[in-house]
Amino acid sequence: MTSVRPIIPSRLFTRLLAIAMLALACAAAPARAQDAAAPFDGDLQRLAEILGTLHYLRGICGSNEGAKWRNQMQALIDAETPSGERRARMIAGFNRGYNGFQQTYRTCTPAAMVAIRRYIDEGSKISRDLTARYAN
């Protein structure tokens, strides 16, 4: 099956994710305790889940991106520097996204391609919203 790659949205999502990581790094003031919940933790967990989903689905759909989405997750963790339970929740979100789609899709299908586009769109929206709310 020839896969249709949402290259432009993927690049846009990567750029927006980088901007969101920078904004979150600035918003995560040192005065906040490392394990205290941040107001954007729900969004971060959802973004982590989306990154896990994209890591799996883009891999089976022949995107030849390697570890791009996993690396984006690592960059998000590095920018946010969560510890303890916050870190564990972010990692669990990524794994939940990956494992959930691994159980459903073994090969790239038209439905998988639709899911990829939707998750890139959702991740882009979350990144834009986080940037708009928490960038200085």
Residue ranges per domain, the chain? 18-26+39-134
For the stretch 112-133, pLDDT in tens is 999 999 999 999 999 999 888 8
Q: Is the pLDDT of residue 52 over 60?
A: yes
d(CA 116, CA 122): 10
d(CA 16, CA 24): 12
pLDDT band, very low/low/confident/very high, at 23 (cuts 50, 70, 90): low
* pTM over the 0.75 mark: yes
What average pLDDT score do residues 98-108 get? 95
What is the reported pLDDT for 58? 94
Q: Which residues 6+ apart lie within 8 Å of 9 measured at CB? A: 117, 120, 121, 124
Mean pLDDT within 106-112:
96
